[in-house]
Each structure stands twice: as C-alpha cells, then as structure tokens.
Structure 1
Amino acid sequence: MNRIALIGSGGSGKSTLAMAIGKVLGIEVWHLDAILWQPNWVLTPREVQKQIQALLIEKKSWIIDGNYQGTLDIRLNAADTIIFLDMPRTLCLYRVLKRRLMYHNRSRPDMQKDCKEKIDWQFLKWIWDFPSQKRPQMQQKLADLTMDKRIITLKSPQEVKRFLADLKDQV
C-alpha cells in the first residue's frame, strides 16, 4: 500500500482514516477538500484540479482522500489501493452535523484555511442520496478497474477499527 485513494460519502470518515493510515505507514496525506477549495468556498476550476492531481499521483507514495467525481479516475487509475468507506447514511449525517458543531465559525484541519465549516440542505441531500445516486457509480468504477488494484470496502466504524488494527500488526 503506497498509493491509497479513499472515497465515500461526506461524513464517512475519509479524512480521519487517511490521517490514521498516514501515521501508521508514514505516508503523506493529501485532503482534496483542503487543496481544491479556495478561500470562502470557491472551488478550483476542473482543469486546475486535474493538473494538481496529476502532480500528486506522480509521487512515489501518497494517500488522497476525497470524491470529486470529475477527477476520480485520475486517482483510481494511479492508486494501488482504494478504500471505499460505505457507511450508513444516518451515521454520515450525524457526523456532518457533529462536525458542524465542533468547528462552528472556523475551518476544519482537513479543509482550506478560510473555509469556515458549514452545511446546507444541498449537501445534506447529497449525503442522504449517496447510497442510491453515487454508490452505484462508484461501485461500477471499482468493478471496472484492473485486477492489480487492492479494493477495500469498509461498511462500519467497527470494520474501520479492525482494518487499522490489522494494518498496525502488519507494519
């Protein structure tokens, strides 16, 4: 595991798991939210997103967390390991609401500095609809990848804990 892509719904735990894996393996972590959002929630143009990620995937090792469907193939094709956090939507919603309270009027550590934590109905709807709208697309993309990829799907916090414990035992 040298090039790891983490994907999943908002609130699934991508950034938290990325940091934990990075600590265990000693691999640099890249949070796409922190890289692709400019101050005051201005999204970097798609072509620039592609250029940024093309540079990141050239590195010998990396952990990149984030979905960004328009550039997802860049990461999936370059990764040797893909971790799909397929958590229940109620858990994801709970975590997003909790995160909003924790980081009220400030930016999260895995987010661009001048993007104060916020949620809106559109984001909550995206999380709610993720299992029916986005999960099938992601599962199809994963199914279409070459057999040399290690694909790990984790469906609960307990599975994440077991995965991290096993990873620590292997290192």
Structure 2
Amino acid sequence: MVYGVTGSGKSTLAAELARVTELPGIAIDDLTWQPGWVPVGKDEQRRIIGEVCAQNSWILDHGYGSWLDLVNERVELIIGLDYPRWLSLGRLIRRTVGNALTKKPMCNGNVERLDRILAKDSIIRWHFHSFAKKRRRLRQWAADPDGPQVLLFSRPAQVERWLRAQVPGGVRS
C-alpha cells in the first residue's frame, strides 16, 4: 500500500509500481466515489476492499481509516510518503486547479470544479483536516516492530532512487 497525506503522489506512485511489478494496481477513488462525487457507503466500501485484500497480490494507492484494518491484516509493505506540507499542498493545489481548468475526468468520470475548490468538503480543506493524523499514523507504523515493513520517504528523490533500484535496468517511463 502506498500511503501519505493528500496530494503526496500516492496514486501516481502506486500506478508506476503496478506497471513495473505487473501486480494489480487498485485506484481506491474508483472504488469509493460514484459519478457526481457521491461517496460509496462505508459498509459497501468495506465489502469491496475486503474482496480486494482477499486476492493474492495487489497494490493500493491509499487506505481510508474506515477500512484500514482490512488492509493492515494483509499488507506486506507500506510505502509511506511523509513529505512536508508545502510540497504535498503545492502538488494538490496545482493538480486540483489544473484539473478544474481542463475538466480532466478523474475517478468514475468526476471532474473538479473551480467553484468547489475551497468549499467546506473540498480536497484542499481535507488536506488541512487530515495532514497531522496521516503523518502520525505513518510514523507509528514505521516505529512498530510487529507491523508490516514500512519504507518511509521524506522527499520524492528518495522514492525515485528506491524505485530505480527495484527494477533491473531502471524504471522505464
């Protein structure tokens, strides 16, 4: 599982890992958001994620707190993107504004809207709401000798070096 604060690049890294390892990559937002930004119910999310985690192999691009226990029972490696706020927030703002301007479809055809960027339920506000909790969780996992292996990265360059080392001949873009 790739885990980190909102805007850290979890989905991008998970997709690249799935590509280079040829393991099934699971985009969590596709499973948890319906068209029109309607959230999938918590019970249904748990059922879906339970089915995903019952498979022999997978790469998840995130773990939501309401079903993280299901993932943690089976995960072998957590790649933690523990980036500073300025980096993850900057990425998030660029991505969100860019997607709103281009109307680039995201999960299940949903699109960002400029008039919603700072709404009460916006992803940018969610970053501020969840940042400390996600960082704390990452660091607790990394410190737990009885949990799964955790690779904690504080800079994108560290991830790039690690990823290159995993693939014979380097990462192919």
TM-score range, shorter chain: 0.7 to 0.9
Task: Give aligned pairs, total.
Answer: 163
Residue 43 of structure 2 corresponds to 47
Residue 159 of structure 1 corresponds to 158
User: 2:82–2:138: 8 Å Cα contact kept in structure 1?
Assistant: no
User: 2:33 and 2:104 mapped to 1: Cα distance?
Assistant: 15
User: 2:98 and 2:125 mapped to 1: Cα distance?
Assistant: 21
User: 2:25 and 2:34 mapped to 1: Cα distance?
Assistant: 19
Going from structure 1 to structure 2, the CA distance change for 1:89 and 1:45 (only over 3 Å counts) comes to same
User: 1:8–1:85: 8 Å Cα contact kept in structure 2?
Assistant: yes
SS in 1 for 2:83: coil
Following superposition, the deviation at residue 91 of structure 1 comes to 1.1
SS in 1 for 2:112: coil
User: 1:29 and 1:60 mapped to 2: Cα distance?
Assistant: 12
CA-to-aligned-CA distance 1:55-111 (integer Å, 9 cap, x gap): 001111100112311111211221111111111111111111111233222323xx2
Q: Which letter does structure 2 place at the counterpart of 1:137?
A: R
Following superposition, the deviation at residue 121 of structure 1 comes to 5.2
User: 1:7 and 1:73 mapped to 2: Cα distance?
Assistant: 14
Residue 8 of structure 1 corresponds to 4
User: 1:89–1:127: 8 Å Cα contact kept in structure 2?
Assistant: no
Question: Is residue 2:111 matched to residue 1:116?
Answer: yes
Question: Is residue 2:78 matched to residue 1:82?
Answer: yes
Q: 1:33 aligns with which of 18, 29, 35?
A: 29
Residue 59 of structure 1 corresponds to 55
CA-to-aligned-CA distance 1:89-139 (integer Å, 9 cap, x gap): 11111111111233222323xx222x1125335532332354433322343
Name the stretch that deviates more: 123-132 or 52-61: 123-132
Q: CA RMSD for the aligned pairs? A: 2.2
Q: Which letter does structure 1 place at the counterpart of 2:31?
A: I
Q: Which letter does structure 2 place at the counterpart of 1:82?
A: I
Following superposition, the deviation at residue 142 of structure 1 comes to 5.1
Q: How does 1:117-136 map to 2 (within 5 A)?
A: 117-118=112-113, 119-120=117-118, 122=120, 123-136=123-136
SS in 2 for 1:87: coil
Going from structure 1 to structure 2, the CA distance change for 1:86 and 1:47 (only over 3 Å counts) comes to same
Name the stretch that deviates more: 161-170 or 24-33: 161-170
Unmatched runs of 5 consecutive residues or more in structure 2: none
Following superposition, the deviation at residue 16 of structure 1 comes to 0.5
Going from structure 1 to structure 2, the CA distance change for 1:76 and 1:170 (only over 3 Å counts) comes to farther
User: 2:142–2:149: 8 Å Cα contact kept in structure 1?
Assistant: no
SS in 1 for 2:8: coil
Following superposition, the deviation at residue 141 of structure 1 comes to 4.7
Identity, % of aligned positions: 29
